[in-house]
Amino acid sequence: MEDMWSSTRVAVNRRSFVKNGLSAAGLATAGLLTTSEIVSADDGPDDRSGRLTRGDAAMLRFAAAAEILETDFWVQYNELAGVQDDEVPGGSGNPAYAAVLEAFDDDMAQYIHDNTDDEFTHQNFLNAYLESKGAEPVNLEPFRTLKGSSASGSSGKPRLTNLMELTLDTSWYTRYRSARHNPDLDPQFTFPQAVPTLAVGKHTAIPRTDADTTNANFLQAIANTAAFHFATIEQGGSSLYPAMAQRANSVEVLRILISIGPTETMHFQTWSDLAGDATPVTAVDPKTGVSVTFPDLNSAPFGGPLFQTNLIMPEPCPFLSRKLPRCSVIRPTETRGIAMNVVNFLTAMGLFIGQPPAFFRLMIQLAQEADAARRSS
Ligand SMILES: [Fe+2]
Ligand SMILES: [Fe+2]
């Protein structure tokens, strides 16, 4: 963890920003960062009444960036398989894709819509709160350049995230079922994947074109990939907020983090239940030749306490110390380096494939500033 964090670390000051080829002035002009925030990583309390400490602002700004990215890909799912209404506008629905997702649960379209709506409110609230405190909000619009799905139902608008080349780490599935291991206490332990073939190769979670909806087997695999992606993302949010909350200075910032975080967990709980309903299937992507297998998680060699699909309540596990009794908790919640870990996690997922180096430099900058935040007391 520490190595992963330090290997991507770049100095947080204006000079290195310029040295790395990212124009600080350009970013400030684009409304991405203020010059004062680029210049200093000092997170000591700001004595201006009602203002945020630099660290609190940085953590909220990182959360806002994460929420903007979440919103972007949830919108893509909603356009194709959610409820089309004024609350989440944009698409017109892809009946074939939506029908396969609907087979998971009759309420799938509503759940996708409501998760999307929630992300919009997280993004909008965090940026508005930052501005209300005189702090800079996050604007990722200059990076809205990716081409999304051209299948029926998609708005065809440019995107921030790529849902068509995902590599999914589904180890959260066994991490929350493990009674003996907590990543905070066992950072070297490898939790088994629920869908090992999703952890290698690139997989699309949405129909790229209408051609992707013509093969029932492959379409089932696409929908299954989406179902596992939903939970994979939302478990990340479930860890991010409590991890950052431990370094909040203002009680109000603490309140924001511990009030948004559990809604990510409510999403995760729903999606982790539904992911277990994925119909077992093996399919080969006709475009890339990549194969994926969704196993029957209730039968050998799967099954048992680590894979049984109805074991969706978090299994009690070691927490803080093995000398203490096991406890049912969110895991991990280690606060050190959490923001950079999230950036690395999303990058490894393939969510940003197609984004230019300036996008990654900005995300690293936001993460480093958030990870530099310290509680003053
Ligand atoms: Fe969110
Ligand atoms: Fe979320």
- Provide the pLDDT for residue 377: 65
pLDDT at 191 over 80: yes
Please name which of 19, 152, 10, 32 lies closest in space to residue 80, comparing C-alpha atoms: 152
The predicted-structure confidence for 33-80, as pLDDT tens digits, reads as follows: 443 443 333 444 444 447 999 999 999 999 999 999 999 999 999 999
pLDDT digits (tens, 9 = 90+) for 116-150: 999 999 999 999 999 999 999 999 999 999 999 99
Contact 59, 129 (CB under 8 A): no
pLDDT value at position 376?
A: 85
Distance 157 CA to ligand 1 centre (A): 21
AA letter at 34: T
Dist. CA 219–CA 66, nearest whole Å: 29
CA 315 to centroid of ligand 2, rounded, Å: 22
Q: Which ligand is nearest to the CA of 118?
A: 1
CA of 122 to the centre of ligand 1 (A): 5
The residue among 359 and 45 whose pLDDT is bigger is 359
Asked whether the predicted pLDDT for residue 228 surpasses 70, the reply is: yes
For all residues of the chain together, what is the average pLDDT?
Answer: 90
Query: Which ligand is nearest the CA of 120, by number?
Result: 1
**pLDDT tops 70 at residue 3:** no
Alpha helix (H) ranges present in 82-215? 95-102, 108-132, 172-175
Q: In this prediction, what percent of the chain has a pLDDT beyond 70?
A: 87
